[in-house]
Chains A and B, each alone.
Chain A
């Protein structure tokens, strides 16, 4: 049995800065609206393959057997990973073009990291 080769997937990872002034309710509503429109657009174009928002808690494990445990998301700098979207795109350039539409780039200094998903061999 052979399955057609799956379309390449890319992980768009959103890192949010915790700094900056709070937006006003009206501004938040606008920002949210843009995010929703962006996500919906990806869905309509068949690019959307999954997404999750991550809660702002968690644990960070280090060392053999995870002896070293710290609370909270891993924050290398002031940004933490806030969520991700998986998109389907022909190549990295196309995935980058999709990522460019992320409203977080215009509001609140979100950093978007685009990472190709390594295709898995059939089990």
Chain B
């Protein structure tokens, strides 16, 4: 069971990302991913570690030099040039030792061509293309999904092992080991940087989309960690998703569905926290604080997602998010439609958490008693009973049914199981109201 899915309604949402001014607005992180992708696609997949090393070196150099020289007019070109020269030197030294480095030839040619060219080379297309290749290379079917996500963050998003560890509540050491194993998998499976051929596209793309979905959920869930870092995870998942849709190979209906759900959920991020810092239920959120631009983008992708025959879980979850986004208020939400979507989602993914969410929608349509009966008849209750949301939902429905004493007991259990102080406070407030 994964309590991290962004399906509605979440109990309470995470604090909104602070708008901390960043000097160059994630230039380093973004460039790290772009440059590793472009160098690896030029040098070959086997040179991924070299690409990562020289890009890191180039960033260190920029950090040391730019405060003195100022940021160059074209920082991306400066970094690429520096990293490429470093790769060039390393391979030349390597060749002097081994007399065998086929990867060197294209670099020499390219250096010569660049030297001759009067204008800087046009990188953008190549960079987008190489990132797309890298995305498929990082998510080969067979590699565990959490390893895919770690690899995407490290290689494509420029996250350090420390940051990945913080985002996933793991130790840095564990993340480092996971990355080593993931890279070994890529080597052993001879994963190439070729874009997948048409006959392999569906499973390969499915694997990429799933990794982006997990990446987004990790950022969206409110259970732990640094708010800014988590907002970055959401932003990266959306950025990579948009990159996919920009290419004929990735612009499939299910990609649009995934992007729709990500944008529509991200739209609510600014409204998830009250002025006093406490977390807000979907029902209590100030809908004027929802990000209209993100909603528009989400709905546009939702429209494009309808082109296919197949309805994926991304379609259904995007539909749920859209139903909330379009509702003028919690009361005026189209609950019957939401219930239908949950029925379909439950058929596709019969997990306790989906069943719990469906029970909430059912209670909205047919009253709290129907919701409570649905909860009572859930199979797998044992798993759910360790989950604070289960008790929070029961408490809410019991309260709505006027069974206050039972509601208090359920909320008390939810408070005991909740991890986040903000969630505990929120639940305690609800409980106090009933006493």
Contacts of A32 in B (CB 8 A): 23-24, 28, 62-63, 66-67
Contact A53–B65 (Cβ < 8 Å): yes
Nearest Cβ on chain B to A112's Cβ, whole angstroms: 14
Say if the beta carbon of A68 comes within 8 Å of chain B: no
- Known contacts: A32-B67, A39-B67, A83-B68. The answer to whether A26 contacts B23 by CB under 8 A is no
Chain A residues, Cβ within 8 Å of B69 = 53
Nearest A residue to B161 via CB reads: A24
For the residues of A in contact with B, the DSSP-based class is helix
- Is A29 in contact with chain B by the CB < 8 A criterion? yes
Interface membership of B184, Cβ < 8 A: no
Chain B residues near A37: list those with CB within 8 A: 23
B152 to chain A, nearest CB (A): 15
Nearest B residue to A16 by beta-carbon distance?
Answer: B64
Expressed in whole angstroms, the minimum distance between the Cβ of B32 and any Cβ of chain A is 4
Evaluate contact between B29 and A36: CB separation under 8 angstroms. Answer: no
A1-57 interface (Cβ within 8 A of B): 16, 22-33, 35-39, 51-53
Shortest distance from the beta carbon of A11 to any chain B beta carbon, whole Å:
15
Q: Is the CB of B26 within 8 A of A29?
A: yes
The answer to whether residues A28 and B63 also contact, given A53-B69, A83-B68 and a CB cut-off of 8 A, is yes
Contact B66 A36 (CB under 8 A): yes
Is B27 an interface residue, CB under 8 A from the partner? yes
Q: Which of B41-83 contact A (CB under 8 A)?
A: 56, 59-60, 62-69
Residue of B nearest to A82 (CB): B64
Q: Quick one: given A22-B56, A28-B63, A51-B68, are A36 and B26 in contact (CB under 8 Å)?
A: no
- A36 contact from B27, B59, B67, Cβ within 8 A: B67
Residue of B nearest to A83 (CB): B68
Q: B162 contacts the other chain (Cβ, under 8 Å)?
A: yes
Which chain A positions have C-beta within 8 A of B23? 29-30, 32-33, 36-37
Q: How far is the CA of A24 from the CA of B162 in the complex (A)?
A: 8
Residues on B facing A (Cβ under 8 Å): 22-24, 26-29, 31-32, 56, 59-60, 62-69, 158-163
Interface residue ranges, A against B (CB under 8 Å): 16, 22-33, 35-39, 51-53, 82-83
16 A-B pairs within 8 Å (CB atoms) are namely A23-B63, A24-B159, A25-B29, A25-B160, A26-B29, A26-B158, A26-B163, A27-B160, A28-B59, A31-B63, A32-B62, A33-B22, A37-B23, A53-B64, A53-B65, A53-B68
